[in-house]
Amino acid sequence: MKFVVAVKQVPDTAEVRIDHEKGTLIRDGVPSILNPFDTYALEEALRWRDSLGGTVTVITMGPPQAEAVLTEAISMGADEGILLTDRAFAGSDTRATSQAIAEAVRKVGAVDVVFCGKQAIDGDTAQTGPGVAASLDWPQVTFVGRVREMTEEHVICERYVENGVQVLDTRLPAVLTILKDANTPRVPSLRGKMKARTFKPVLWSAADLGLSPEETGLSGSPTRVVTTATPEARHGGEIHRGTPEELAVIMADLLLGKEARS
């Protein structure tokens, strides 16, 4: 079977610091990493390839240096990598991003399943997967906590929702977005790392995907970010110090309020 995994290069938000005055990111020394959620998508694809046979192709849209996340995916065992890179893609929102990825999936051809991460840790929208599915007019299963079963025709997924688990039987081809509950991503293998060292991605531009300038980047993006700020500061109140017993009395006063004080 033919599997595609959409992966994104993101700044490691755990390392991001912010300039509170200006409401912007301090990027100094923050490493770029493979979106952590995408490692679960990749692992899921690799597992199904290992058990059903076939290939795993990773696709990313980003600047030339996004090649690094494809290389990492190759070292984990992906077969091929495609980098969608073009000035024209700059400024893409999820609509434009989904469209580009969907066109790439069409160009790859005969794909059975597209795996996406649950969300990217920078944009945090979780919108790209459903957008890709809509562009391809394929069914989608989001928030997949476990893929139970797969054949050439269909897939049975557990979709984790707020109050339980939906078990869905879905016809292929389809787009799945994978939660971290689904698996434990493998560590790269030595042979994978050796292969990754000489890996060169396939490069596709907007024109290669048959996308017109109006459909891509800023012009193909209905949303745009107008301002950024840091989360509203909530001011700290009084800070109490003292023995545990003293603190307990103050806390009990505040917590119990009207309740009798003895």
Partner 1 sequence: MDYMLSDDLKAIRDICGEIAEKHIRPVRAALDEENRFPREIMDILARSDLFSIYIPEAYGGTGMGSLALCVATEELSRACGGVAVSYAANALGAMPILLFGSEDQKSKYLPPLAAGEKLCAFALTEPEAGSDAAGIKTRAVRDGDHYILNGTKQWITNGGEAQIYTVIAMSDPTRGARGASAFIVEEGTPGFSYGKKEDKMGIRASATRELVFEDCRVPAENLIAREGMGFMVAMKTLDNSRPGVAAQAVGIAQGALDEALAYASQRRQFGQRIDSFQGVQFMLADMATSIEAARALTYAVARMMDAGSPRFEKESAMAKVFASDVAMQVTTDAVQILGGYGYMKEYPVEKMMRDAKITQIYEGTNQIQRLVIAAALIRETAAGMR
Partner 2 sequence: MTGRLEIIREKCVGCGACLRSCPVDALSIVEKKAVVSDACNLCGMCIKSCPVDAIVLHHVTGGGAGLEGYSGIMVAVELRDGRPDRSTLELLGEARRLSGGARRVTALLICAEPGDIPSELTRYGADRVLAAVHPGLEHYLTEPFTAVLAAAIRADKPEIVLAAATTQGRDLMPRVAKTLETGLTADCTELRIDPDTNQLMQTRPAFGGNIMATIVCDRTRPQMSTVRPGVMKRLEPDDSRRVLVERLPVDDGMVAGRSTLLEFIPSVGNEIDLTESEVIVSGGRGMKGPENYGMLHELAELLGGSVGASRAAVDSGWIPYPRQVGQTGKTVQPRKYIAVGISGAVQHRVGMQSSDEIFAVNRDPDAPVFTFANHGFVGDLFEVIPALINEIKRRRG
Interface of this chain with partner 2, residues 75 to 134, rule: CB under 8 A: 87-95, 98-99, 121-131, 133-134
Complex with ligand FAD: residue 157 or 259, whichever CB lies closer: 157
CA distances from 174 to 78, 151, 179, 221 (A): 19, 12, 16, 24
Instruction: Determine the Cα–Cα distance for residues 56 and 25; give it in Å rounded to an integer.
Output: 35
Instruction: Determine the Cα–Cα distance for residues 39 and 201; give it in Å rounded to an integer.
Output: 18
* Mask for 128-167, x = binds partner 1 (CB under 8 A): ----------------------------------------
The answer to whether residue 210 forms part of the interface with partner 2 (CB under 8 A) is no
* Mask for 3-32, x = binds ligand FAD (CB under 6 A): ---xxx------------------------
* Choice from 53, 110, 163, 198 touching partner 2 (CB under 8 A): 163
Specify the residue for token string 């020394």: 29
**Nearest Cα residue to 94 out of 223, 180, 197, 246:** 223
Contact between 62 and 97 (Cβ < 8 Å): no
CA distances from 117 to 21, 94, 209 (A): 33, 14, 23
Number of amino acids touching partner 2 (CB under 8 A): 107
The answer to whether residue 186 forms part of the interface with partner 1 (CB under 8 A) is yes
* Choice from 90, 165, 194, 251 touching partner 1 (CB under 8 A): 194
Instruction: Determine the Cα–Cα distance for residues 35 and 105; give it in Å rounded to an integer.
Output: 20
Residues at the interface with ligand FAD (CB under 6 A):
6-8, 35, 37-38, 41, 59-62, 92-95, 97, 101, 116-117, 119-120, 122-129, 223, 225
